[in-house]
Amino acid sequence: MKTINYKVDADGIALLTIDVTGRPMNVMTEDFLQDLTAVVEQFASDESARAAVITSGKDSFMAGADLKGLVEDFPQRSDAAEVYAWSRRLQQVLRKLETCGKPVAAAINGTALGGGLEICLACHYRVVANQPKTVLGQPEVQVGLIPGGGATQRLPRLIGIEPALQLLTQGKHLDPAAALEAGIVHEVVEPGQEVAAARAWLLESGDAEQPWDKKGFRVPGGAGLLNPNSVQTFMFGTSLLQKMTGHNYPAPIAIMSAVYEGTVLPMDTALDIESKYFTKMLMDPVARNMTRTLFISKGEADKLVRRPPEPPQRRVAKLGVLGAGMMGAGIAFVSAKAGMQVVLLDTDRQKAESGKDYSRSLLQKRIDRGRMDGGTAEETLARIQTTTDYADLAGCELVVEAVFEDREIKAGVTAQAEAVIADDAIFASNTSTLPITGLAEASRRPAQFIGIHFFSPVDKMPLVEVIVGRETGDVAIAQALDFIQQIRKTPIVVNDSRGFYTSRVFSVFSREGISMLAEGINPALIENIARQAGMPVGPLAVTDEVSLELSYHVMSQTRKDLGDAYEATPADVVVNQFVNEFDRRGKRFGKGFYDYPENGKKHLWPGLAEHYRLAAEQPQPAEVRNRLLYAQSIETVRCLDEGVVTHPADADVGSVFGWGFPPWTGGTISFIETVGLDRFVAEADRLAERHGRRFAAPDSLRKMAKNGETFYGNANAVKQRPAA
């Protein structure tokens, strides 16, 4: 067999070793499912085998389904009956395994997730090695799916409904000790002893019947409408899930429904219930969206799919950071944490030390939470050298400037740094809005000048946007991406333009919300609908976070640069009023669209009602939602048209991980494909007629809709087209 080795020893114990060739980690490929079916049949009928141990030939046990193959197969799976039949395969073979009359033990030598853990749950005994990085869990919900190999039925029967639902609906991972405490595994042993421990149980006791197949079995803690614990769990759980998901994520409710229905039925019928919900989720575009963007595209970005192939990899040993404000301090922290020596430079020693204090504070929090020991924290902090002397940048392979968004200031620090660093060093700007090509004019070597745009707070935000200027060379791109991989962030690569990709489209979201305020739409409606749609915060709140002062500065600079070409929006007037008339500049200043009392929760400024009187007729929630989401997606299409973004996957990853576009959509481009290009264009036309030309569908989108094309379909066609 290609993926499973079968061997029976002198004691009659069959060792089934999973080893999916060509994969660094075992996953459930088509070959594996075929082999598993065959090997279970072989074991069940093999008179020489009286028991079995299932283990892995790799460092981990199994990561679950081949999600990339699953997504690529979506277009072919349009018939529910076909999907249902496909989804039953794993269930049926695992049911055969646990009811064949022979005891089976799982020797879990590393991480077991998704279908990998479901194989273990179908075994009669589970032993896990106490490896530091080993985790067990059912993370399917995180990509819009539910378990399809029996976990929604076996876990509740094993540990009870409430603890099972907490794991299933949140996709939690447990380390070996926590899995033992939860009752998911029976034994934790030292690494390398898991097969021996599994064999010992088989030889000594080896019960071949699962608890749920024994006469008189009851779900721990109770199940069904007549059990008060069960009723309370589902009643409060449903309310909590609706609050958390905003009705945008169907998988958690499907999990709860499968558990609720299945736990009052015999196991075989219950598994059929799970398959029906699994089929429904697999055919839902939310699963396609989340799997493609959150797992596949993000994984490819983490592996540097956009890296030019020729320049050799070069790790940064010494990094220079210019500016010790919040951004510079954050960059210094994540880089020192990754093992780099960091030179943190500012105009005076006190500012530089204050930037280092930021790292000190973050490290102390990790110590307090048990996530880091004091010695490691001291070593990390010692890697940060504060200075005011540019000469200390000598030896830096990369310098990142994070000074104020002013061209003259940036030009000055560029010249001073380049006078010191080596000829092959890379200089990067952390600007969020100023075009890189223009900033590179201050450089004596523009081929080595690049944009590396971090998001705040740097230690928490996963995305980094790499901006390629007109003269930026492949070496600079490659080494910027190598650096981002070193600090374990997710990069996207975009071409230079005003606001690049993320800042440009994100600003559309905030401007649309502010424009609605100017029109007299209730600010609470604007904010609440944005959050219900899946945005992390409303457009007014997020403008306060980045500061109205910064918005005003960017607006003024853009107006100055573009002159007559600048297109004003109703938001411009509001931002100008808040900064220059109301002196309400954002959260950092204690007041903006919201008030921020010292001893209380933030709340919308009551003065909004006075200055922006409510319109007599308020829009329907769907109208507000569409304005916010469509505006961002339309601007993304313009970015693709202009070559700012070159692949729909970068647009989707950037929108979800950069500014929090709703993950259920898969990103700004996947949102268009989910709506359907024809329907999206029709709604954009309606919005444009009612609210202005900013909603006008680009000609490229109209053409694609007319031709029945999709963004990902076109991108894949280009990728697969043979060379001329």
Other C-beta atoms closer than 10 Å to the C-beta of 479 total 26
Question: Which residues does 604 contact at the CB level (< 8 Å), separation at least 6?
Answer: 523, 524, 527, 540, 593, 594, 595
**DSSP, res 471:** T
Measured distance CA(270)–CA(262) in Å, rounded: 4
Residue 606 has, within 13 A of its CA and on its CB side, a CA count of: 0
Tell me how far apart the alpha carbons of residues 128 and 138 are, in angstroms, rounded to a whole number. Answer: 16
3-class secondary structure per residue, 591-634? ECCEECCCCCCCEECCHHHHHCCCCCCCCCHHHHHHHHHHHHHH
Task: Determine the Cα–Cα distance for residues 253 and 693; give it in Å rounded to an integer.
Answer: 39
Tokens of 278: 């699994």
Question: Quick one: CA dihedral 690, 693, 697, 699, positive or negative?
Answer: positive
Task: Tell me phi and psi for residue 141, to 5 degrees.
Answer: -60, -25
Question: How many other CB atoms are there within 10 angstroms of residue 361's CB atom?
Answer: 11
CA distance 629 to 641: 19
With a CB cutoff of 8 Å and minimum separation 6, the contacts of 408 are none
Residue 617 CB neighbour total at 10 angstroms: 7
Instruction: Report the relative pairing of strands 13-18 and 51-56 from DSSP bridges.
Output: parallel
From the candidates 173, 453, 603, 647, give the one annotated as an active-site residue. 453
Q: At what angle do helices 161-170 and 228-245 cross, to 10 degrees?
A: 10
**Cα-only R_g, the chain:** 28
Residue 193, C-beta contacts closer than 8 angstroms, at least 6 positions apart: 129
CA angle 63, 69, 72 (to 5 degrees): 145
Packing angle of the helix pair 326-337, 374-382 (nearest 10 deg): 120
503, 432 Cβ separation under 8 angstroms? yes
The pair of structure tokens assigned to 205 is 């006791």
Containing H/E element for 675? helix 668-675
Is the CB of residue 532 less than 8 Å from the CB of residue 625? yes
Provide the b/e sequence for 41-71 (b: ≥16 CB within 10 Å): ebbeebeebbbbbbbbebebbbbbbbbeebb
Let me know: does 605 contact 594? Beta carbons within 8 Å.
Answer: yes
Distance CA 206, CA 365 (A): 47
- Going by C-beta distance under 8 Å and a sequence separation of 6 or more, which residues neighbour residue 166? 172
Question: Which ranges in 474-547 belong to alpha helices (H)?
Answer: 474-486, 502-518, 523-533, 539-546
Return d(Cα 479, Cα 399) in angstroms, integer. Answer: 12
Q: Is 453 a catalytic residue?
A: yes
Instruction: With beta carbons less than 8 A apart as the criterion, state whether 175 and 131 touch.
Output: no
How far is it, in rounded angstroms, from Cα 458 to Cα 460?
A: 5
For residue 56, which of 125, 121, 128 has the smallest C-alpha distance? 128
Active site residues: 453
